[in-house]
Amino acid sequence: MYPEESISQMVSDGRMTRDLPFPLEEIGFSNMSSSLNPARGDHEFLEDPPTSARDEHLVEISEALRTVAKALRRVAEGKASAQAEAASWKRKYELEKERNSSLKHQEATKICHSGSREEETENLRNESLVHDSSPENSVHCCGKDGICSHETLGDGAVDAVSNKQRRMVTRKASFRLAWGCNGYSSGQHKHEVVSFEKGNITTAGRSNKQILLKWESQPQTVLILAKPNSNSVRSLCAEMVRWLKDEKKINVFVEPRVKIELLSESSDFNLVQTWKNDDEIKDLHSKVDLVVTLGGDGTVLWAASMFKGPIPPVVPFSLGSLGFMTPFQSENYIEYLDAVLKGPMSITLRHRLQCHVIRDAAKDEIETEEPILVLNEVTIDRGMSSYLTYLECYCDSSFVTCVQGDGLILSTTSGSTAYSLAAGGSMVHPQVPGILFTPICPHSLSFRPLILPEYATLRVQIPLNSRGQAWASFDGKDRKQLAPGDALICSMAPWPVPTACQVDSTNDFLRSINEGLHWNLRKIQSFDGPRDL
C-alpha cells in the first residue's frame, strides 16, 4: 500500500493506526511503535534478560515421549510373556488330554480282549484292513497293541478293482531314545527322552552323552526330498525309490514335482505317494517314519521348514558342495539305509529357533504373525537403507544392548558354521543347546559375539526414533520388513531336527569343519631347524 515509505515512519506519523479498522492494542501490538524505533528497541532488548522457556518445554516433551515409549515396550513385553505362558499351559493341557485318552483307550482294549477267541481273531483281521471309523464300530476294532484300525493311516487310495492297489493300514513306527557314551549304550545313565505323542521327538532333558535311536517297530513309510535341477540327483532318487519299494517293501512319499519326473521315466512309479496341498503337508509327521534328503545343507533346511512341529528323523545324503549336515555319501546309500532301518543309529538333535513378529499396531492386543521355525539363523539387516540399523535388544525382559551397524544374527548352534561364522561368531558343536548373538559389522570395536542359554527369550525392538526400517530373513528366505515400533521375539523351539550320524555327532562335526572349511590347515614345520636342548 505504501511502497515508498517505511513502516516505522507510518507508525510514527499515525497513518497506519488511522487506516486500520481496529486499534493495535487489541491484537497485542501496543508497543509496536517503540519496537520499530531502532534506538529505543535496541535499548529495551539489551535490558531484557534472555529466556530459555522454549528449550525447557522441548526437554519436557522429549522426556515425556521417552517415558511413553518405555511404557509401550513394557506393555508389549508383558503381552508376549503372557502369550508364551498361555502356550505353555496349552501344551500341558494337551499332554493331560492325551494321557487321559490313552487311559480310556487301554480300558477299552481290556474289554475287547475279555471276549471270545472268535472276536479276537476278527479284531486281528480288522487290524490289517481299513473299516468304518464310526463310534459304533470303534469298540470292536482294537488290536493287541491297543491301536484301532480307524485311527491308523493309509498309504494310498482305495481301488475296489485291483487287490494290489488296495488301501492297507500303515502304522507309524515307534522308537526310543537312549543316552550313551561315544555311540555305545550305557546302563548307568538311564535317562530317556520320550515325547507325549509316540513317534514325535520333543526335548525333555539335556545330556553330554551321544544319543542312540532304537526302533521299537519297523519303519514303513519314507519321505524322499530331492534337490531340484540335478540329473544325478534325479537318477539316484529313482534308484532309491525302486530299492525301497522292491527290496524293503516300504511306502515312499515324494514331492509332487519329483513324482511327475519319476512318472515321465516309467509308469512303475504309480504307487509312489505325494500330497496335493499345504494342509496335507501339516499331517506328514504323523504318516512318515523317516526323511531322506538328497542334496546339500539347503535340502536339509528345506526339509526342516516343511515340518512346523515335530519332525521325523532325517537321513541326509551329501550331493552338494560343503555338507556340514550331510555326512552320508550317496554311493553307498544301500548300506547306509539298511543300517538305519535296522537300527540303532546315532543321531544329533539340531535345535531350531521359533520366531514371532509383533507389529507396532498390535501393542494394544496380542496379534502376532504365524511363527516361523529356523534351523540356521534369523538375520536382521538394514536392507537397501543407507542408515545404520538401530536395534534395542532384550533377554528375558533384561536390556542387553543397542545394535548400531549393518545388522544382527540370532543363530542356532547348527548355524554357527554359516552366516554367524562369516560375521565373526564362534563355531559351536550342534549338540550344545544355546543361541548365538552375533552383530554384523558393528560400529563399535568392543562389540563381541555372545552365546546365550537355550531357555532365553530374545526380543529385538526397532525403536520409534530409528532413522530407517529393518529387514528380517529366516534361513535366508521369508524376508519381512520391520518398521519402527515392530519387534521380533526368538526362543528355542520345542521340536528339534533329529539328523542321523554316520559315526556320532562329535566325529561328524569335526570331520565337516576339517574337510569343508580346512580348519587350522597349515604346513607342518620342518625338523631340521634349531631345537631346544
Q: Is the pLDDT of residue 194 over 50?
A: no
Distances (CA, A) of 481 to 99, 335, 514: 42, 47, 37
Residue 104 pLDDT: 72
Q: What is the largest CA-CA distance in the chain?
A: 127
Residue with the bigger pLDDT between 56 and 314: it is: 314
Q: Is the pLDDT of residue 516 over 80?
A: yes
Q: Is the pLDDT of residue 35 over 80?
A: no
Instruction: Report if residue 338 sits inside a domain.
Output: yes
250 and 337 inside one domain: yes
Question: Which of 12-16, 60-64, 159-163 is predicted least confidently?
Answer: 159-163
pLDDT, the chain, mean = 77
450 and 359 inside one domain: yes
Question: Which of 338-347, 356-365, 371-380, 441-450 is predicted least confidently?
Answer: 356-365
282-287 average pLDDT score = 88
Q: How many residues does the chain have?
A: 533
235 and 338 inside one domain: yes
424-434 average pLDDT score = 93
Instruction: Report if residue 116 sits inside a domain.
Output: no
Instruction: Report if residue 388 sits inside a domain.
Output: yes
Residue 93 pLDDT: 74
Q: Is the pLDDT of residue 24 over 50?
A: no
Which of 203, 229, 258 corresponds to the end of one domain?
203
User: Contact, 165 vs 159, CB < 8 A?
Assistant: yes
Question: Which residue range is the domain that position 225 belongs to?
Answer: 218-349
Residue-wise pLDDT tens digits, 160-184: 444 544 444 567 788 777 766 544 4
H or E stretch covering 226: strand 221-226
Residues whose CB is less than 8 angstroms from the CB of residue 382 and which lie 6 or more positions away in sequence, other chains included: 388, 389, 406, 407, 468, 470, 471
Instruction: Report if residue 511 sits inside a domain.
Output: no
54 and 179 inside one domain: no
Residue with the bigger pLDDT between 74 and 203: it is: 74
For Cα atoms 10, 15, 21, give the angle at the middle one, nearest 5 degrees: 125
Residue-wise pLDDT tens digits, 446-462: 999 999 999 999 999 99
Instruction: Report if residue 430 sits inside a domain.
Output: yes
Cite the active site residues: 297
Residue 181 pLDDT: 52
Q: Is the pLDDT of residue 402 over 50?
A: yes
Percent of the chain clearing pLDDT 90 (strictly above): 42
417 and 287 inside one domain: no
User: Contact, 180 vs 209, CB < 8 A?
Assistant: yes
Q: Is the pLDDT of residue 510 over 90?
A: yes
48 and 165 inside one domain: no
Which of 203, 229, 261 corresponds to the end of one domain?
203
Residue-wise pLDDT tens digits, 94-125: 777 777 777 777 766 665 555 544 455 555 44
pLDDT-based confidence at 148, cuts 50/70/90? Answer: very low
Locus of grid cell 509308469: 267
382 and 330 inside one domain: no
Spatial distance between the Cα atoms of 446 and 448, rounded to a whole number of angstroms: 6
Q: Is the pLDDT of residue 390 over 60?
A: yes
234 and 317 inside one domain: yes
295 and 413 inside one domain: no
360-368 average pLDDT score = 64
Among 211, 233, 238, smallest CA distance to 318 is for 233
Per-position DSSP letters for 460-490, written without gaps between them: EE--TT-SS-EEEEETTEEEEEE-TT-EEEE
Residue 28 pLDDT: 47
375 and 341 inside one domain: no
- The CATH number given to whatever domain includes residue 341 is 3.40.50.10330
Instruction: Report if residue 526 sits inside a domain.
Output: no
Helix (H, G, I), strand (E, B) or coil at 173: coil
Strand stretches in 143-218, DSSP E: 153-154, 169-170, 175-181, 184-185, 192-193, 210-215
- The CATH number given to whatever domain includes residue 466 is 2.60.200.30
Residue 188 pLDDT: 41
Instruction: Report if residue 399 sits inside a domain.
Output: yes
Question: Which of 175-179, 207-211, 249-253, 455-459 is predicted least confidently?
Answer: 207-211
Residue 129 pLDDT: 41
Q: Is the pLDDT of residue 476 over 80?
A: yes
pLDDT-based confidence at 139, cuts 50/70/90? Answer: very low
358 and 335 inside one domain: no
pLDDT-based confidence at 17, cuts 50/70/90? Answer: very low
Residue 151 pLDDT: 37
Instruction: Report if residue 266 sits inside a domain.
Output: yes
Residues whose CB is less than 8 angstroms from the CB of residue 241 and which lie 6 or more positions away in sequence, other chains included: 224, 252, 254, 262, 269, 272
Among 463, 486, 458, 485, smallest CA distance to 394 is for 458
Q: Is the pLDDT of residue 439 over 70?
A: yes
393-406 average pLDDT score = 94
Tally of domains within the chain: 4
Q: Is the pLDDT of residue 25 over 90?
A: no
Question: Which of 77-91, 243-257, 302-316, 461-475 is predicted least confidently?
Answer: 77-91
Distances (CA, A) of 300 to 76, 314, 434: 35, 8, 20
Q: Is the pLDDT of residue 410 over 70?
A: yes
483 and 365 inside one domain: yes
Which of 203, 228, 255 corresponds to the end of one domain?
203
User: Contact, 360 vs 373, CB < 8 A?
Assistant: no
Q: Is the pLDDT of residue 20 over 50?
A: no
User: Contact, 495 vs 352, CB < 8 A?
Assistant: yes
503-520 average pLDDT score = 91
